[in-house]
Structure 1
């Protein structure tokens, strides 16, 4: 499998690590996650494995875009997509700045949820993105109806900028600066050491 590009230890939940997606090798894993009813906001419930493979091959081939599988204690447990807002449909909806990074994340659906797990996943994602000194702000555009992710985003420092219309959804355009994220970590409840 591919090399680990980021690791983080959560005091309560253990080890989190991130590796690049392999469109071919990860197709079945990602298909299972993305077509699960709990992943409805990813808009891929009816996708076939070939659709998932094509989606992640497109991400691999698009400059400024990449995708990662997150591991929890060595087991695949979440998905991250990183993209360049300046090369996306968001470029016409807000003033993109140098250092803006777009992000989507998905905690793998499970029948045995662990309290605080999704927050720990989002913390891992944000730590990874801000490890790059060029990243100044993280930009997200969750569906307006995805209230659980709105609450999580607010906990880690995101502020809503606007409600925007995208081709497939109405979304809350939200931005988190490096300073806001660090302030949320200082004030918040997620502990852990960050390493590369």
Structure 2
């Protein structure tokens, strides 16, 4: 676990944004769990290091992309998600935001800490030793690029974890009428201080817009919050998603939420 300044949150903690993509509301034993949740501030040294590495990543990937385009005479080759790492920062109603692909050695302690928050663990089920989170991340990082784990950096501070994935190539596609290039979004907001402040809806809308801007072949963003998670479904609706169907997934009954490119300026 990274060194932090910790203080006990003695009150009722706001519900986190989870893999369902938004505030999940209290789950089982929520009252007990909220008293055990720590509100932990990221150390200044970590934030500074992360900012330096993020800038280096952006500069390095831009230079690499230019070199490849020059050598081949064509634009740099796409991966399955149109090079999420090259999408760059975007402006949101809550501040400047940047999806930065996870680097295991740098980011594992922080993400594992978030996964051990009881309110998060209830949905992600990755609480316990860092190895559980490491295995989850490594499966994506070592895969074919159909799912890209990212840190969400708001105004220079890592504050959320995202998975941008090809829903049409995911097991989810077995449970709904998938279309080519459907792009899925998973999200959790890490620390208690950032929850319950409207970040979930604002960032979901902005990231979906970013997907449409950077993935011209994608006509829909999708997500699958737990059907019982009324606050999560509500947040997606506020972010311009619509309820499409109830689907039975192996671990839950889910609300299939869809945001359509054609309706992005309407909803």
Which of the five TM-score ranges fits, normalised by the shorter chain? 0.7 to 0.9
1:78–1:121: 8 Å Cα contact kept in structure 2? no
The 5 Å alignment of 1:28-177 reads: 28-39=109-120, 40-44=122-126, 46-63=127-144, 64-111=146-193, 113=195, 115-131=197-213, 132-177=215-260
List structure 1 runs of 4+ shifted beyond 3 angstroms: 111-114
- Per-residue CA deviation, residues 37-95 of structure 1 (Å, 9 max, x unaligned), is 23122222x23201111111111122211111011110101111011223222222112
- Once the 2 structures are TM-superposed, how far is the Cα of residue 172 of structure 1 from its aligned partner? 0.8
2:167–2:178: 8 Å Cα contact kept in structure 1? yes
Aligned-pair distance for 1:168?
1.5
SS in 2 for 1:182: coil
Counterparts of 2:202 and 2:148, CA distance in 1: 21
Structure 1, unmatched stretches of 5+, are 185-196
Residue aligned with 2:216, SS? coil
Closer, same or farther: CA 181–109 of 1 in aligned 2, 3 Å: farther
Retained in 1: the 8 A contact 2:175–2:247?
Answer: yes
Q: Quick one: distance in 1 between partners of 2:164 and 2:247?
A: 20
Alignment: residue pair count:
182
Are residues 47 and 88 of structure 1, via their aligned partners in 2, closer, same or farther at CA, if it must alter by over 3 Å? farther
Structure having the larger proportion of residues in helix:
2
Q: Give the secondary-structure state (helix, strand or coil) at the position aligned to 2:258.
A: strand
Paired with 2:237 and 2:192, the residues of 1 have a C-alpha distance of 24
SS at match of 2:266: helix
Given the superposition, is the C-alpha separation of residues 53 and 154 from structure 1 closer, same or farther in structure 2, using an over 3 Å criterion?
same
Whole-angstrom CA distance in 1 between matches of 2:251 and 2:132: 17
> 2:40 is matched with which residue?
none
1:156–1:181 contact (8 Å) kept in structure 2: no
Return closer, same or farther for 1:9/1:149 CA change in 2, 3 Å cut-off: same
Q: Which structure shows the higher strand fraction?
A: 1
- 1:187 is matched with none
**Pair 117,85 (structure 1): closer, same or farther in 2 beyond 3 Å:** closer
Q: In the alignment, is the contact (CA less than 8 A) between 1:41 and 1:146 conserved in 2?
A: no
Instruction: For structure 2, list consecutive stretches of 5 or more residues without a partner in the other structure.
Output: 1-52, 59-86
Deviation at 1:143, TM superposition (A): 0.9
Partner-residue secondary structure (3-state), 2:104: coil
